[in-house]
Amino acid sequence: METIILVGHGSRRKEANNLGIIGGLLHELIHPGCSDNCVKVAYLQFSRPTLMEAIRDSVQHGASRVIIHPYFLSTGNHVTQDIPSEIEEARRHFTGVEFIYTEPLGVHNKLVEVVLERIHSARPTGPEDIEKRSLQIIDGEIDMSDVPPEQVPIIKRVIHATADFEFKHSLVFHKDAIPRALEAVRAGADILTDIEMVRVGINKRALQKWGGKVYCHISDPEVVQSAKRNGRTRAEVAIEHGLRDNVGIIVIGNAPTALLRIIEMFNSIDASAKTPVVIGVPVGFVNAIESKALLATQSFPFITNLSKKGGTAVAVAIVNALLKMA
């Protein structure tokens, strides 16, 4: 059995003794899913455990090899004298154990990258700079080379909005969805949403450039009365109420009932009729995944995701990505 010990200096400030976070990240990186305590931390001063305590604990739990890494930037006295002295003492006490002592952090090109990232973070930045940097980070975290180029800006925008890389794999696009959506935007078509939060999040200035507007009817008095009278959700009634000739994109970020109603309505009309593009990404545990799975089988243009995840942030991200692409 092998144990890794990260050794830090230690501080009188309790919050500064956070080497355990680095140890946890390292453990997850090299032993994902492991429940054993095979990456430990130790401190030279002001905090516990000490290096000898961490070594003793490792040996008592069966370690036959102990790798000790000095979490220091330079080769000062702690790295060249204090830690090696304790390792020699441990060798005398635990004769059957192999001890390996690594170089400190020292000079490394990846540290330069960390410094550069800290500089970028410290600079006064506006929303556009933050967005640009976020998208650069996404590029460095995930490979999009296997994704159709027209889908990449949308997937990246959704990941940016959710910090969830799973959407690369769960988003599903009808082959005509993106070109039809861009065509609708450029033609000045309107966008219809299921809830007010989605309407608020959409970049109306970008849409107005082409002459389109965003509508949500969930709070209209006639919608509220009709939903109550007929025992239906306001969202599905609002979508029915809002459909008109100039709607080019329908966005469902919250209500599976509204999405199911759209599918039902579009299946009842002539298959050759040109329907709005449906962006259906409701979130939740009741009918959300079922409604999206059904949407993914339709012949009319759609964008959806096959998971329980979704919601306003995802819906808005998709639409705003399309507006930016237009």
Which active-site residues does the annotation give?
160
Contact yes or no for 79/24 (Cβ under 8 A) = no
Counting Cα atoms < 13 Å in the Cβ hemisphere of 307 gives: 13
How far, in Å, are 51, 127, 140, 254, 296 from residue 233 at the CA level? Answer: 63, 37, 43, 12, 23
Contact yes or no for 7/70 (Cβ under 8 A) = yes
Q: How far apart are the C-alpha atoms of 40 and 49, rounded to whole Å?
A: 9
| 71 conformational bin, left if phi > 0, alpha if psi -120 to 50, beta if neither | beta
Contact yes or no for 253/267 (Cβ under 8 A) = no
Place of tokens 């339709």: 298
Is beta strand 302-305 parallel, antiparallel or unpaired with respect to 171-173?
antiparallel
Which H or E run includes 279? strand 277-280
What tokens appear for 196 in the block? 């007010």
Cβ count within 10 A of residue 42: 26
